[in-house]
């Protein structure tokens, strides 16, 4: 099976979304250096997450449309953050329908999440933006986040790319999908070991 890789348009959109995210949520030091911010924004994946691995949250959000509870807490979202959520969710919705492989690379999303989002309308996905969905990509892994911020915006190209690709690899291999691999490997039949013993 052949997979279509990231296109220049996809990367340009990722960069634009990352730029807005860093402008809103980046450190003051990073925001003061336009060049550093631009170099970090060029990271080939989204620096923020839409809780793609929270199946319960997305099941609730995209489940049957129910009448809004009168007692439901109204969330006040700053206009700039809401605009980023709408743009990011719209971009991912379009991408999972056109090229789910690339959507998974740039967001670390599971196949199940991509299928769930692709199965609903754009209006349903954008309706989720009334809640605060967006969060830092590596909030649980503070050392990785610090390393990406420091080295992923470095002037030296090799250092910058090494940090960005390392973070991408970590994102893709440390997700919930990846956590199931060891258990799946344990359930494999022992034929491979027997063949190795015979050789």
Distance, CA of 6 to CA of 44 (rounded, Å): 9
Pairing assessment for the beta strands 135-136 and 48-49 based on DSSP bridges? antiparallel
Residue-range definition of the domain harbouring residue 51: 8-198
Question: Tokens representing 184?
Answer: 């799946």
Distance, CA of 23 to CA of 114 (rounded, Å): 27
**Listed residue (56, 40, 39) closest to 48, CA to CA:** 40
Return the SS3 of 27: coil
- What is the pLDDT at residue 65? 52
Supply φ then ψ for residue 44, to 5 degrees: -80, 25
The Cβ-side half-sphere exposure at 183, using a 13 Å CA radius, reads: 5
> Could you give the number of structural domains in the chain?
1
- What is the pLDDT at residue 41? 93
The answer to whether 136 and 25 have CB atoms below 8 angstroms apart is: yes
Question: Tokens representing 103?
Answer: 């959507």
In a domain, 88, yes or no: yes
In a domain, 185, yes or no: yes
In a domain, 3, yes or no: no
- What is the pLDDT at residue 31? 74
In a domain, 187, yes or no: yes
- What is the pLDDT at residue 133? 87
The answer to whether 22 and 152 have CB atoms below 8 angstroms apart is: no
In a domain, 61, yes or no: yes
In a domain, 99, yes or no: yes
Distance, CA of 42 to CA of 15 (rounded, Å): 5
Please state whether the predicted TM-score (pTM) of the whole model is above 0.75: yes
- What is the pLDDT at residue 172? 87
In a domain, 1, yes or no: no
| Strand (E) or helix (H) holding 48 | strand 48-49
Per-residue pLDDT of the chain (199 residues; tens, 9 = 90+): 566 788 899 999 999 999 999 999 877 777 778 898 999 999 999 999 999 999 899 988 887 654 455 444 556 888 999 999 999 999 999 999 999 999 999 999 999 999 999 999 999 999 998 888 899 988 767 788 888 888 888 889 899 998 889 889 988 887 544 444 344 444 445 544 444 555 4
In a domain, 2, yes or no: no
């Amino acid at each position: 099976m052949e997979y279509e890789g990231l296109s220049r348009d996809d990367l340009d959109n990722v960069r634009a979304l990352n730029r807005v995210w860093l402008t809103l949520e980046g450190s003051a030091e990073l925001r003061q250096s336009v060049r550093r911010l631009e170099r970090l924004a060029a990271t080939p994946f989204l620096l923020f997450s839409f809780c793609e691995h929270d199946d319960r949250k997305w099941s609730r959000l995209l489940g049957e449309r129910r009448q809004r509870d009168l007692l439901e807490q109204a969330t006040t979202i700053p206009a700039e953050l809401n605009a980023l959520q709408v743009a990011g969710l719209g971009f991912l919705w379009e991408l999972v329908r056109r090229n789910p492989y690339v959507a998974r690379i740039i967001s670390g999303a599971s196949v199940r999440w991509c299928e769930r989002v692709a199965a609903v309308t754009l209006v349903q996905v954008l309706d989720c933006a009334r809640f605060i969905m967006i969060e830092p990509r590596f909030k649980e892994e503070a050392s990785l986040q610090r390393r990406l911020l420091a080295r992923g915006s470095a002037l030296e190209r090799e250092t910058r790319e090494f940090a960005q690709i390392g973070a991408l690899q970590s994102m893709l291999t440390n997700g919930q999908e990846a956590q199931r691999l060891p258990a799946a490997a344990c359930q494999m039949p022992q034929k491979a070991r027997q063949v190795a013993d015979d050789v």
